Structure 1
């Protein structure tokens, strides 16, 4: 039985700690690379509405289905069966691992500000450092979920300090003329150009919010079920305000072209343009603290998903093993091994931070979409909605969340969808193996359609040289 160890503060730290990682510190250049000030604002409005809808879906499901303590994985399984539930768990697990790898890459790329030997975070010194970095967090989580959560609260507070200072300083240095010069990007205003710019920002804004479900995944360890939803909504609103201010205020300091050309972390160079070198040092240190906290949050969430899935029989049973500290130790070890393998792949392929986080974002969209569809299913079947006046409200929320997830998958582009399908294809092999060992019927008639889509997409990715 899981220990009910986490209170509201720890759950809020899990949400904010997972969301506010490295993405916040590179928003100025990531957004300016594809959009002007106006489309950036529109992108955050769309993402804010979409993510608020998803957060309300997570909150609502945590209250209506408190017995589903695996959160985002459990919703897919309860709504659409073991095979779809497995794919949600598998996709979320791999996406979380890719998120950790993205943090490792960005950490050593940032560290090169002080120690140039680390280059772009994809060379041999970064590989060695990344391996040691990952093993450090493995050790921390192995000591116990509660102890790791306490450290996460401290790092979450520490990472917010330089961000708040950045916002205060840049607010007073904001120049309206600079902001309006690139309001709608290059050329004159047109809805087509603005729409394309907004579309091109979707993976950036999504990555900035990946982790919103952090408290949901850890709901089985929450002291009070109601705290899960509160932590999710408060974390979302606070983070949205931070992201919007970072993106908009930066466009009042440097032009779009200047922001797009900034190295990572771009926030450091924006502040440097206002106050000098000490501003860059402050942000670089803040980013390193942020990545440290983000890594810990991601690790907490990453090891939980296979553990819960194993208890339900869709992952190998060994993933349900825990150590004397209550940590899912088998899940932790496999998560670490796969993470280290991906760190090595980044070194060999010289993949960028942006490419890794884009893959993670697309992979995690599937579990998001399935959660929204499960909420929609509950409304349409009236399950838990007998004599409940909130049916219409929740119908609209689930439709918004579903629409946002589908729109973002479209905006991601075909290449990333095909690439991620290979990941799901590997998971298919493991699922069939587990079901065979347990003597269960592996697939239903509708499941075969999903299998066909995964296999065709994976083969297309391989034949087009995307892998």
Structure 2
């Protein structure tokens, strides 16, 4: 027996969605990822760039949540409203694929973590690791089928549980802080690679994107919010809290161990750092926290992925089947497709040499175009509202909108820089997914009897196809190595 219940999420639950979406596998891999690229000075510069840029993006989400309450599907809805159906589809598809890749990376890192204790798991992509991960995928699938409210309640509890070990890690490293070690590491970078400061910072950008993906978690679930204003508040407060954790986890290891040692550590490097300082207890302590953290993030992202497919189908840019709900108001087809795609890519990791790094970079690359479109729509919306306020003589509102315009412009420039920093390789690999994925868009338009592409959209599709062909050639010739 089931009943239809209108789920409404409180501010703490929405904030937990943001924190739970961002605090996953990435934070536990930061010490090594940063140490391989740069020292403390470069890390500080990188976090200043990423922090300011992502804060601007968070402010764009906040402003749009308040000024465009009718757009209640977050990333997808903003891109569609600003630039048309196909742009909306690309945003939804890219964001959904980013979530799927992120979820694959979670399972790889969990099994890699357990591989330190159970050799059969190896680096997270052995046959046994894949079988265990597959069981986990479908157990979480059953949890999601219980409903949004039940899943978000679990996510709230898990979010609190997983932040505690991270805070304790930070506290232990503060106690063990050595000023002489931090000073010795401060100016070190990737000298052996001949990298300047700009190159060092650029090398960390996809990592920072990966750990910030999820900043829009509350926006995606805005239709469930008790109060619309809670969406923006949850986005900004969740961002600030996570940024503090990320910066401390990155910088404090430099004050306890040589940078060269950190750069060579096994992932998850947070566990390796604490293991080097406290022995086996440190490895076990962080490993337990990592597994809790990742499972919580996996649940949050699985919910978000299904919600994006549902919203896109509801707005007629995905096939109708994804908009269908059962008696519990759940988009079952979207949930099933998400779990199935994650399962397929988990199996594919068996043939990868560094599955976690590949999934991290693909997650970041697929998320960048949706973020860029949101920021660009922020410019468009602020300009439109400002012109309307000036015509109505509301000078006070005009000043606020002017600030929102410049914030959105900065966020757009930042996301464009991230596309450049990620490199051509991952843009082409993204196109390799966008081009065939557009079949879903074609099916959606055909089943509704609508024109598929406008003239501009044909150009965009042609660019995606050319990028996909270039990626295939690169993979075949060995120019692109994954």
> TM-score when scaled to structure 1?
0.97
Residues 8-407 of structure 1 aligned to structure 2 (within 5 Å): 8-186=11-189, 193-382=196-385, 386=389, 387=394, 388=397, 389-407=399-417
2:440 corresponds to 1:430: yes
Q: Which residue of 2 aligns with 1:455?
A: 465
- The CA distance in 1 between the partners of 2:29 and 2:301, in whole Å, is 19
- The CA distance in 1 between the partners of 2:246 and 2:116, in whole Å, is 23
The answer to whether the 8 A contact 1:29-1:259 is kept is yes
For residues 2 and 80 of structure 1, do their structure 2 counterparts lie closer, same or farther at Cα, with a shift above 3 Å needed? Answer: farther
SS of 1:248's partner is: helix
SS of 1:325's partner is: coil
The answer to whether the 8 A contact 1:122-1:351 is kept is no
SS of 1:382's partner is: helix
- The CA distance in 1 between the partners of 2:361 and 2:253, in whole Å, is 23
The answer to whether the 8 A contact 2:147-2:328 is kept is yes
The answer to whether the 8 A contact 1:60-1:229 is kept is yes
- The CA distance in 2 between the partners of 1:76 and 1:295, in whole Å, is 25
SS of 2:156's partner is: helix
- The CA distance in 2 between the partners of 1:379 and 1:54, in whole Å, is 14
For residues 168 and 160 of structure 1, do their structure 2 counterparts lie closer, same or farther at Cα, with a shift above 3 Å needed? Answer: same
- The CA distance in 2 between the partners of 1:2 and 1:32, in whole Å, is 49
- The CA distance in 2 between the partners of 1:218 and 1:5, in whole Å, is 10
- The CA distance in 2 between the partners of 1:464 and 1:270, in whole Å, is 37
**Long gaps (5+) in structure 1:** none
Give 1:346 deviation, angstroms. Answer: 1.3
Give 1:192 deviation, angstroms. Answer: 7.0
The answer to whether the 8 A contact 1:379-1:385 is kept is no
Moved more, 94-103 or 423-432: 423-432
The answer to whether the 8 A contact 2:372-2:415 is kept is yes
- The CA distance in 2 between the partners of 1:213 and 1:145, in whole Å, is 17
Q: Could you list the per-position Cα deviations for residues 45-99 of structure 1 after superposition, in whole angstroms to 9, with x for gaps in the alignment?
A: 1000011000000010000001111111000001111111011111111111111
> TM-score when scaled to structure 2?
0.94
Give 1:41 deviation, angstroms. Answer: 0.8
Give 1:276 deviation, angstroms. Answer: 2.3
- The CA distance in 1 between the partners of 2:90 and 2:109, in whole Å, is 28
Q: Which residue of 1 aligns with 2:425?
A: 415
For residues 244 and 87 of structure 1, do their structure 2 counterparts lie closer, same or farther at Cα, with a shift above 3 Å needed? Answer: same
Q: Could you list the per-position Cα deviations for residues 319-369 of structure 1 after superposition, in whole angstroms to 9, with x for gaps in the alignment?
A: 012223222111000111111111111123344211101101110111100
**Long gaps (5+) in structure 2:** none
- The CA distance in 1 between the partners of 2:448 and 2:314, in whole Å, is 13
Q: Could you list the per-position Cα deviations for residues 174-231 of structure 1 after superposition, in whole angstroms to 9, with x for gaps in the alignment?
A: 112211222232588xx97111100100011111111101111011111111111111
The answer to whether the 8 A contact 2:158-2:292 is kept is yes
Q: Could you list the per-position Cα deviations for residues 235-277 of structure 1 after superposition, in whole angstroms to 9, with x for gaps in the alignment?
A: 0000000010111111111111100101011111211222222
SS of 1:372's partner is: helix
The answer to whether the 8 A contact 2:189-2:200 is kept is no
Q: Which residue of 1 aligns with 2:454?
A: 444
Give 1:383 deviation, angstroms. Answer: 6.4
Aligned residues: 466
SS of 2:255's partner is: coil
SS of 1:182's partner is: helix
- The CA distance in 2 between the partners of 1:383 and 1:167, in whole Å, is 44
- The CA distance in 1 between the partners of 2:351 and 2:251, in whole Å, is 36
